[in-house]
Amino acid sequence: MTDRAGSERDLYLDVLSILEAADTTEPWKRVLAGLVSQTGAESAYVELHPESSAGERVWTLFHGCSAGDRERIRAATSRGPIAASMASGSTVHTPFARLDVPVPASQNIPWVVLCVPLAGGASGALYLEGQPAGGAFPPEAVQTVENVARFLDTALRGRTLAGPVNTEDPTLPFRRRLRVDAFVGHSHALARVFEQVELAAARDDTVLIRGPLATGKTALARVIHEHSARKEGPFVEVDFITVPGDLIHGVLYGPSRRLLSRTYEKGKVEEAEGGTLFLDDIATVPLYWQGILLRLLEPQGAKPNRRVIAATHANLEELVAAGQFRQDLFLRLSGFTLHLPSLAERREDIRDLMDSLLGTLAEKRALPQLRPSRGLYELCETSDWPGNVRQLRNELEAALLQASREGTAFIEPRHLADGRRLREVSRTSFYEETRQFQQDLLRRELKANDWNVIEVARKLDLPRSHLYNLIQTLGLTRP
């Protein structure tokens, strides 16, 4: 008991050092390590949303997490326990929140997460996970984490709970070498794209850029061109979605000789001499005309002095299998392939994108530089955005116009034209569906057994202590 009391006292001393340090990274590391030690968790994570600047980047720190764990937690917390904890202002303690990732068969006890919200001038949460005995963190461990959060709340009321500038930006090394300002964000997914851009720029063969609509494939092609050996040459674009099939040959190679007037007209292929020819929406080229592209990529005679970059949002493998796209053309195109992720694959970038888009839109429309409310940030971060950046931009533009008309200080979720649908999407998550299932199951079984917890635990094959924790966590009460 003495050892535990001493360790807990050290933990609170580390919490105090957060309040006093100019750079709080090291104190926070000690606090997370102390929480893991005190609770028996295997890893810990803190997420802070500085309130002094609504658009400031979320500050995060991990302890005991592998790179894969960090990616998983980042992807899951926006829709799972952290979002639920911050929204409700209460502790979330559940053994099922991690079942959306594979769990080894040898681990017969489900992974448990404990999430406690923070306040004191910053919205955020402490997050722990592990495999405690009995399928839940013991009450004293939960109390310790809640005490730390409460202590921070009391001590920091009226001031900002701040971390240092978040240096965990994997895109920074690439941004120092590449001109990629068109791509806003700091996610690992974006950093992997930049890594592939460097490799593609160093080559001179055909590149295929794949990714959903409105993810920036044209901008990425320009970046590759601007950092290649052909950067002094022209960048020539052909968007096949706007070119009828019978005009493809003329667009690429120029009008037929018999149709030429006295003014000589170049085709796009000739215009791209010494530079890059970008073929966008290549999957829309009718099968009959795809042979023209194949001849372009496999010319007879001398090697042409141009590079081809193609792009598509279509599944070319499915089109090849359906006989709608030539396999030899597909193989010729896919020598070096890059994938641009959707917004749903890089949710960490949505907040930065919102700030950037709203700043540009306000300047373009001569409107006030309004900032999103925290609720709008959270709604946008948890929505799927099937239309990606274009859809986000359109929604924000409508919201900015509406908020400007009303003269509000912030842009709220209600200002979104499609806000109701987005809210419905954002509420549909694995965590929420699982929690609802647990509530319904336990409420039904408890009622059927007149709240005989021992009998319900036997029927559901759960330890009694685990069932009591679930009843408390899910807010179930006997009528």
Task: Kindly write down the DSSP assignment for every residue of 134-169, as one continuous string.
Answer: GGS--HHHHHHHHHHHHHHHHHHTTS---PPP----
Question: According to the model, what pLDDT value does residue 239 have?
Answer: 94
Residue 75's pLDDT band, with cuts at 50, 70 and 90, is low
Question: According to the model, what pLDDT value does residue 55 have?
Answer: 44
Question: According to the model, what pLDDT value does residue 454 have?
Answer: 87
Instruction: Provide the residue type at 176 as one letter.
Output: R
* 360, 229 Cβ separation under 8 angstroms: no
Q: Return the axis-axis angle of helices 430-448 and 453-460, rounded to nearest 10°.
A: 130
For residue 155, is pLDDT > 70? Answer: no
Q: In this predicted model, what pLDDT tens digit does every residue of 198-223 receive, in sequence order?
A: 999 999 999 999 999 999 999 999 99
Residue 79's pLDDT band, with cuts at 50, 70 and 90, is low
Q: In this predicted model, what pLDDT tens digit does every residue of 267-312 receive, in sequence order?
A: 999 999 999 999 999 999 999 899 999 988 887 767 789 999 999 9
What share of the chain has pLDDT > 70, as a percent?
78
Ranked by mean pLDDT, the top range of 194-203, 405-414, 440-449 is 194-203
Who's near 339: CB < 8 A, 6+ residues apart?
A: 193, 210, 211
Between 388 and 157, the higher pLDDT residue:
388
Question: According to the model, what pLDDT value does residue 54 have?
Answer: 44
For residue 315, is pLDDT > 90? Answer: yes
Residue 430's pLDDT band, with cuts at 50, 70 and 90, is very low
**84-93, 136-145, 179-188: the lowest-pLDDT one:** 84-93
For residue 160, is pLDDT > 90? Answer: no
Q: Could you please report the per-residue DSSP string of 294-350?
A: HHHHS-SSSPPS-EEEEEESS-HHHHHHTTSS-HHHHHHHTTEEEEPPPGGG-GGGH
Ranked by mean pLDDT, the top range of 40-49, 75-84, 413-422 is 40-49
Give first-to-last CA distance, the chain, whole Å: 39
Question: According to the model, what pLDDT value does residue 374 have?
Answer: 76
Between 462 and 98, the higher pLDDT residue:
462
Question: According to the model, what pLDDT value does residue 57 have?
Answer: 54
Which CATH number is 346-427 given?
1.10.8.60
Ranked by mean pLDDT, the top range of 23-37, 62-76, 241-255, 291-305 is 241-255
Q: What is the CA radius of gyration of the chain?
A: 28
Q: In this predicted model, what pLDDT tens digit does every residue of 323-378 receive, in sequence order?
A: 999 999 999 998 899 999 999 899 889 988 999 999 999 999 999 988 888 788 88
For residue 413, is pLDDT > 60? Answer: yes
For residue 244, is pLDDT > 60? Answer: yes
For residue 178, is pLDDT > 70? Answer: yes
Who's near 237: CB < 8 A, 6+ residues apart?
A: 218, 278, 280
For residue 429, is pLDDT > 60? Answer: no
Residue 121's pLDDT band, with cuts at 50, 70 and 90, is very low
Between 469 and 102, the higher pLDDT residue:
469
Q: Give the number of other CB atoms < 10 A from CB of residue 333.
A: 26
The torsion of the CA quartet 424, 343, 348, 76, rounded to 10 degrees, works out to 50
Q: Please, what is the average pLDDT of the chain?
A: 81
**220-229, 436-445, 450-459: the lowest-pLDDT one:** 436-445
> 172-341 sits in which CATH class?
alpha beta
Question: According to the model, what pLDDT value does residue 417 have?
Answer: 78
Residue 161 region, left (φ>0) first, then alpha (ψ -120 to 50), else beta?
A: beta
Question: According to the model, what pLDDT value does residue 457 have?
Answer: 83
> 2-156 sits in which CATH class?
alpha beta
Question: According to the model, what pLDDT value does residue 254 have?
Answer: 85
Question: According to the model, what pLDDT value does residue 462 have?
Answer: 75
Q: What is the mean pLDDT of residues 122-135?
A: 78
Residue 419's pLDDT band, with cuts at 50, 70 and 90, is low
Q: Identify the three-state secondary structure at position 182.
A: coil
Instruction: Provide the residue type at 193 as one letter.
Output: V
Q: In this predicted model, what pLDDT tens digit does every residue of 387-397 receive, in sequence order?
A: 999 999 999 99
Question: According to the model, what pLDDT value does residue 107 have?
Answer: 43
Cα–Cα distances in angstroms (integers) from residue 289 to residues 99, 117, 286, 295, 318, in the given order:
49, 59, 6, 11, 19
